[in-house]
């Protein structure tokens, strides 16, 4: 049988291909109907295991393989790999809806070898009933790629993976089951085993990546890190990846590098406003990296699992990841098919703040879950997500997470667009949530220790992954006893980077719809075009290395915005004032800091040679917008708080210090335009949204 497997391996990778240590053992385990978890380093060849096993099983007359894969880009790569072995692989995902019926028929009639689906699809009742349940007894093998996502102790836990467990529990006990991962330590393995079954066969291999040259570098701020990138990125051979924690940082770094003549492109999940546009742009940029047509993609973790380019020459972290396990997964993109690749970890002072946000927002709290359950229980006719958002002061994304957790656990169920309370009793697990949060902070502290570690970096990582084969790599900067790349940056380049950051501005997109009809002044969702705010601009991102620190100091320390910010705003706006045909300036009032924004707007108006008119006032004390978590609450709070004391015509520039949800601008603009003003253009000193990250 092994000889057959070797022949298939040669078809995939060429006549010289040989099984790596552990590959045949894994194939043999599933061929003998064992439930198997393979823990092997990135680039080891886990996909070869399930493709060759599928080929052999199909030749034995067994049914198709169901492969649960977390990413669309990963699915596309896997389909191409399967074709090398003559396997017909198909996928059901959000981008090929018009093909679903045809694919489902082929699957049921045994005309395809592998079906790749996302874990989210397992939440679709129609798919379960019309497809999966009909072929359940004839499935040849069930594969869970990136199996660490099953465990909420894992670095990349995904609640949708919980759905997989129900499917596994309903499968025949002798059906081959394979889970694969590179990032599971003993805690995660134990959790998976506890959920899948004690009979799970664990096959582990050494996790040390011999090709990686690891180095860590401490730099104080964004400007120093940008300068370092400019000075050093062309010293690395080939193309690579620069990982950032937030989308704003991806944009900043990519644009800066392009500005300095380095071909870099930003990459994250929401590159375009449409899902089709996102898919196209991401595919195009992945291909450019694959074909070495760019020096680097500046990416969030959206470019992570499954992206397989053998000759990636470097992975640079612009900021420190939240855990060693996540870090290992990301540096694992580099050096798969070459002897030497560089992985450089840069550190900045904002890293911990961003990670703290990620940790606090990772899991819904018991209080949030209770609020949502109560909101659903109150109305027996069911509640839509929009209805729920009108009742709870919780961010939209967190509401989605709560609904997903509650639905997977059977506490609520969904019919159409509405959620209903089930008869199942909800028993919150207070201690598990606390323990996981505590672990995340321990992982963060461990990352700090890693940066200052004077021993082998790879051994440090391998020990965290409980690798029984952990050893010194002999290739990292600590092992060789010298730095590969200088940690110093030229002051001239730092100053240039600061100038660049200060010269960058952020666009403020207009709100075009109200959160719901109840909040809308005219009972309609769409904001009429003649009542909308125009597209505006913000001077900086709050707290950045350009103007952001000065904004922060002015608001919370000096209680006055420095004249340098007035000058910077003037330089940014002077040409636009003419372009927008601005006639006068007003500002957003505050009862807590009545002179802060007003004083700034008055000085700005004087410098621009325009009238300042105080036409908006607070009709009653309201909470600060930042205390509200979703659009329903924010828009309602703005309507409750603002009114006009006089009317002015003409185009107006409306000034505020911070912009986040944009509802303050949307509501005050509606009031201004509803009483006679023409076009309204928003300006803010700083944007506070978007810094929290995302894919």
User: In the numeric block, which tokens belong to residue 417?
Assistant: 């667009």
Q: Where are the beta strands (DSSP E) in 159-303?
A: 177-181, 201-204, 212-218, 240-243, 264-267, 296-299
Which CA distances in Å does 160 have to 386, 394, 405, 612?
22, 21, 8, 53
Are 305 and 74 a contacting pair, CB within 8 Å? yes
Phi, psi (deg, nearest 5) at residue 11: -65, -35
Tell me the sheet residues that pair with 92: 117
Choices 3.40.50.300, 1.10.287.1080, 3.40.50.10210, 3.40.630.30: CATH for 2-204: 3.40.50.300
3-state SS, 590-614, equals CCCCCCHHHHHHHHHHHHHCCEECC
Q: What pLDDT shows up at residue 497?
A: 94
In whole angstroms, what separates CA 526 from the centre of its chain? 29
Q: What pLDDT shows up at residue 73?
A: 57
Residue 465 burial (C-beta neighbours within 10 Å; 0-12, 13-18, 19+): buried
Q: Considering only the top CATH level, what class is 505-687?
A: alpha beta
Distance CA 325, CA 305 (A): 13
Are 314 and 236 a contacting pair, CB within 8 Å? yes
SS3 call for 70: coil
For the chain, percent helix, then strand, then coil, each to nearest 5?
45, 15, 40
| CATH 1.10.10.10 describes domain 358-431 | yes
Listed as ranges, residues in the chain with pLDDT below 70 are 71-77, 94-95, 273-276, 304-306, 689-695
Closest to 208 (Cα-Cα) out of 371, 408, 43, 16: 43
The region, left, alpha or beta by phi > 0 then psi within -120 to 50, assigned to residue 64 is beta
| Helix ranges, 173-260 (H) | 186-196, 222-232, 247-259
Q: What is the pLDDT of residues 230-286, one digit of tens each?
A: 999 999 999 999 999 988 899 999 999 999 999 999 999 888 766 667 778 888 999
SS3 call for 541: strand
Distance CA 70, CA 146 (A): 7
In the chain, what are the domain boundaries? 2-204, 212-351+450-497, 358-431, 505-687
CATH architecture group of domain 212-351+450-497: 3-Layer(aba) Sandwich (3.40)
This prediction's pTM: 0.85
Q: Where are the beta strands (DSSP E) in 510-618?
A: 536-541, 582-587, 611-612, 616-618
The strands making up 89-92's β-sheet, listed across from edge to edge, are: 89-92, 114-117, 65-68, 141-145, 177-181, 35-39, 201-204
User: In the numeric block, which tokens belong to residue 144?
Assistant: 């869970």
Are 552 and 540 a contacting pair, CB within 8 Å? no
Whether 2-204 and 358-431 share one fold: the answer is no
Residue 9 burial (C-beta neighbours within 10 Å; 0-12, 13-18, 19+): buried
């Amino acid at each position: 049988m092994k000889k057959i497997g070797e022949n298939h391996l040669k078809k995939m990778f060429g006549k010289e291909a040989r099984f790596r240590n552990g590959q045949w053992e894994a194939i043999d385990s599933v061929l003998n109907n064992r439930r198997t978890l393979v823990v092997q380093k990135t680039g080891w060849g886990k996909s070869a295991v399930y493709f060759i096993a599928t080929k052999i099983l199909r030749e034995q007359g067994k049914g198709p393989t169901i492969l649960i894969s977390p990413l669309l880009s990963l699915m596309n790569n896997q389909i191409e790999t399967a074709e090398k072995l003559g396997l017909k692989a198909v996928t059901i995902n959000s981008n090929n809806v018009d093909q679903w019926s045809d694919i489902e028929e082929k699957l049921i009639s045994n005309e395809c070898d592998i079906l790749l689906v996302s874990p989210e699809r397992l939440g679709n009742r129609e798919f379960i009933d019309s497809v999966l349940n009909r072929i359940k007894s004839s499935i040849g093998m069930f594969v869970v790629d990136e199996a660490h996502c099953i465990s909420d102790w894992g670095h990349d836990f995904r609640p949708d993976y919980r759905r997989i467990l129900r499917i596994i529990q309903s499968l025949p006990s002798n059906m081959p089951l394979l889970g694969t991962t590179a990032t599971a330590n003993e805690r995660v393995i134990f959790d998976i085993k506890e959920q899948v079954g004690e009979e799970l066969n664990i096959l582990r291999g050494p996790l040390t990546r011999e090709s990686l040259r690891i180095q860590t570098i401490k730099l104080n701020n964004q400007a120093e890190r940008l300068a370092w990138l400019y000075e050093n990125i062309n010293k690395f051979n080939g193309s690579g990846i620069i990982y950032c924690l937030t989308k704003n940082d991806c944009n900043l770094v990519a644009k800066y590098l392009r500005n300095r003549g380095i071909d870099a492109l930003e990459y994250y999940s929401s590159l375009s406003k449409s899902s089709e546009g996102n898919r196209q742009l991401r595919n195009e940029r992945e291909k450019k990296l694959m074909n070495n047509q760019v020096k680097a993609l500046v990416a969030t973790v959206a470019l992570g699992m499954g992206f397989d380019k053998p000759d990636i020459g470097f992975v640079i972290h612009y900021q420190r990841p939240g855990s060693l396990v996540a870090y290992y997964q990301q540096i694992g993109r580099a050096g798969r098919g070459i002897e030497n690749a560089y992985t450089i970890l840069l550190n900045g002072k904002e890293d911990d703040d961003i990670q703290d946000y990620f940790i606090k927002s990772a899991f819904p709290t018991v209080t949030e879950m209770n609020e949502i359950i109560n909101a659903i229980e109150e109305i027996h006719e069911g509640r839509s997500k929009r209805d729920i958002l009108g009742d709870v002061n919780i961010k939209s994304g967190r509401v989605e997470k709560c609904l997903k957790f509650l639905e997977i656990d059977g506490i609520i169920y969904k019919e159409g667009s509405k959620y209903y309370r089930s008869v199942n009793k909800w028993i919150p697990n207070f201690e598990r949530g606390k323990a996981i949060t505590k672990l995340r902070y321990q992982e963060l502290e461990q990352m700090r220790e890693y940066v200052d570690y004077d021993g082998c970096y790879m051994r440090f990582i391998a020990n965290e992954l409980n690798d029984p084969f952990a050893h010194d790599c002999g290739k990292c900067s600590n092992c060789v006893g010298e730095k590969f790349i200088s940690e110093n940056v030229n002051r001239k380049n730092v100053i240039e980077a600061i100038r660049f950051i200060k010269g960058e501005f952020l666009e403020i997109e207009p709100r075009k719809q109200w959160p719901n009809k109840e909040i809308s002044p005219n009972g309609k969702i769409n904001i009429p075009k003649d009542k909308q705010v125009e597209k505006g601009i913000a001077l900086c991102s709050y707290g950045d290395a350009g103007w952001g620190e000065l904004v922060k100091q002015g608001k919370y320390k000096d209680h006055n915005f420095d004249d340098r910010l007035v000058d910077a705003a003037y330089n940014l706006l002077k040409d636009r004032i003419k372009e927008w045909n601005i006639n006068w300036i007003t500002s957003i009032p505050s009862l807590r800091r009545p002179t802060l924004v007003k004083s700034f707007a008055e000085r700005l108006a004087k410098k621009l040679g325009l009238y300042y008119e105080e036409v908006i006032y607070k009709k009653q004390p309201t909470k600060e917008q930042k205390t509200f978590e979703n659009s329903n609450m924010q828009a309602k709070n703005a309507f409750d708080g603002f009114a006009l004391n006089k009317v002015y015509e003409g185009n107006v520039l409306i000034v505020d210090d911070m912009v986040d949800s944009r509802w303050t601008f949307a509501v005050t603009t509606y009031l201004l335009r509803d009483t006679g003003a023409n076009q309204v253009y928003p300006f803010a000193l700083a944007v506070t949204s978007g810094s929290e990250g995302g894919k």
